[in-house]
């Protein structure tokens, strides 16, 4: 049996979905129990418009989570992790990720189906992160004996801590510098 492929959305429908997803992120980040009606008001659309695009509140949240995961993957790719010098890639990716994670906190905190598209994207991000860390290790930026999975987890924790007080007007480049500096040199004295 051949599956029918979903037709691409028209440009106006695509804009409508984007507005709904952005409103859903804002509303649900403030109140995770918010209703479809509250999201519709924030998006400036009728509740029926949301229901035309999303079969249920859960379907909306799943679409929101997938959209955020896609943006996160694009943020990593924009840092050119395979071709840019590792230190430059680490800074650029970190600044990009801070912007995406700062804008999509609710969506990126949602659990995903283990084999779902959002989970697959996150696994890809994890692999790209380790690949950049391997390149950094090969260039002597990270100790040759360091456990790169542990380094990745510490890196993610530093990003998470940076986002605790993150506001949209915070300088992601400055925060990225602090994160990478802490990751690579720790808090010890500079000699």
CATH of residue 159 = 1.10.357.10
Residues 69 and 154 in one domain: yes
1 pLDDT more than 50? no
The whole model's pTM is what?
0.84
4 pLDDT more than 70? no
Residues 39 and 133 in one domain: no
Tokens of 6: 């979903």
* Domain-located, residue 13: yes
**Residue-range definition of the domain harbouring residue 27:** 7-54
| Mean pLDDT computed over 102-124 | 90
* Domain-located, residue 190: no
Residues 50 and 94 in one domain: no
The rounded percent of the chain whose pLDDT value lies above 90 is 76
* Domain-located, residue 161: yes
Question: Minimal CA–CA distance to 164: which of 112, 113, 119, 98?
Answer: 98
Q: Of the given ranges (78-82, 108-112, 162-166), which has the lowest mean pLDDT? A: 162-166
What local confidence, expressed as pLDDT, does residue 5 receive?
A: 45
The number of domains in the chain is 2
């Amino acid at each position: 049996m051949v599956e029918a492929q979903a037709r691409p959305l028209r440009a106006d429908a695509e804009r409508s979905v984007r507005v709904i997803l952005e409103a859903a992120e804002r509303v649900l980040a403030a109140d995770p129990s918010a209703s479809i009606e509250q999201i519709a008001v924030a998006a400036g659309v009728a509740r029926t418009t949301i229901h035309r695009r999303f079969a249920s509140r859960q379907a909306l949240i799943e679409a929101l989570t997938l959209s955020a995961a896609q943006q996160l993957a694009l943020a990593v790719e924009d840092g050119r992790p395979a071709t840019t010098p590792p230190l430059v890639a680490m800074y650029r990716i970190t600044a990009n990720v801070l912007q995406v994670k700062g804008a999509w906190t609710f969506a990126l905190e949602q659990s995903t189906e283990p084999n779902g598209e959002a989970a697959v994207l996150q696994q890809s991000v994890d692999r790209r992160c380790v690949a950049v860390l391997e390149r950094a290790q090969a260039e002597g930026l990270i100790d040759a004996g360091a456990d790169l999975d542990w380094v990745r987890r510490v890196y993610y924790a530093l990003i998470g801590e940076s986002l605790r007080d993150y506001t949209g007007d915070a300088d992601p480049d400055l925060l990225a510098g602090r994160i990478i500096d802490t990751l690579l040199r720790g808090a010890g004295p500079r000699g």
